[in-house]
Structure 1
Amino acid sequence: MTVRLRAHHLLCLLTYVGKGYSPAFVANYDVVVERLAGGEDILIVSGPDDVCAPLLNEGEPHCLGESAARRDEVAAQDVADLLGRPLVAGARLELDPSTLARMREAFSSGLTRKACPGCEWFELCGAVAADGFRETRL
């Protein structure tokens, strides 16, 4: 199987500690993380992904908004620069321990956080990174 992720969720999953928009969102995110930890690869998608699924039944899910799409654009470029390969819809990525470590190091240094300002989780993600990603679920 394959986990479908939008580009900015590549950054979000680096600091995921079990907090989210709702209990359903957290339960779903836990399943996504378990799948990734189990070795499933990632398919980059444009728009809502496997993480967004519980939010899509809301009146106006933010995952359909312009701010989420803009975060995707910026995150895709940052991660592509880091990994040295294009990261567009349809691209596949294996999140092996080495790649995860590189992504976390870049996130900690601020190299891949250009998509993050203005996000409601910005402070939490910064604190998780500053703490060495110790409480993350992936």
Structure 2
Amino acid sequence: MTVRLRAHHLLCVLTYVGKGYTPAFVANLDRIAARLSDGEDVLIVEGPDDICAPLLEGGDGHCHTASVRRRDQIALAEVASTLERDLVAGDRLTLGAAQLANLRGSYAVERVQGACGGCQWKPLCASVAASGYRDTRLQATSSTHPQSQEA
């Protein structure tokens, strides 16, 4: 299977420690983190993704706003630069141990935090990064999957 993620959620999963908007949101993100930890691929999508699902059920429209779409654009460019490859919606990648370490290293030194400006979760994420990503739910395994695949 494949996890559908919008670009800025690639950053969110780096520091996710079980906190979120609602209990349903947290339970959903726990399942997604477990799937990613098991080596499922990520399909980069535009707009709402698998993480957004519980918020959309309640009619929360922030997943559709221009500011969130802008976060996705910034995150996609920064993640692509960090991974040293082009990335567009429709591309696939696997967050194996090397990719996760690379992204977390870049996040810790604020190379991939441009999309985080104004986010209410930024202080928590910064604290998680400062702790060395202790207690994060996404734990990459040494994967034999390729870093990326073309869609």
2:132 and 2:34 map into 1 onto residues whose CA distance is 20
Aligned residues: CA RMSD: 0.7
User: Following superposition of structure 1 onto structure 2, how do residues 1-138 of structure 1 map, counting pairs within 5 Å?
Assistant: 1-138=1-138
2:60 and 2:33 map into 1 onto residues whose CA distance is 25
1:75 and 1:58 map into 2 onto residues whose CA distance is 26
1:25 alignment partner AA: F
2:57 alignment partner AA: N
String of CA shifts for 1:56-87, please: whole Å, max 9, x gaps. 02233211111110100000000001111111
1:19 alignment partner AA: K
In structure 1, stretches of 5+ residues that fail to align are none
1:130 is displaced (CA, Å) by 0.5
1:121 and 1:23 map into 2 onto residues whose CA distance is 16
The secondary structure found in structure 2 opposite 1:120 is coil
The secondary structure found in structure 2 opposite 1:56 is helix
The secondary structure found in structure 2 opposite 1:8 is helix
- What TM-score, normalized to structure 2? 0.89
2:127 alignment partner AA: A
2:57 and 2:49 map into 1 onto residues whose CA distance is 13
Match of 2:142 in 1: none
1:34 and 1:78 map into 2 onto residues whose CA distance is 24
In structure 2, stretches of 5+ residues that fail to align are 139-151
The secondary structure found in structure 2 opposite 1:3 is strand
Aligned length in residues: 138
Quote the sequence identity (%): 59
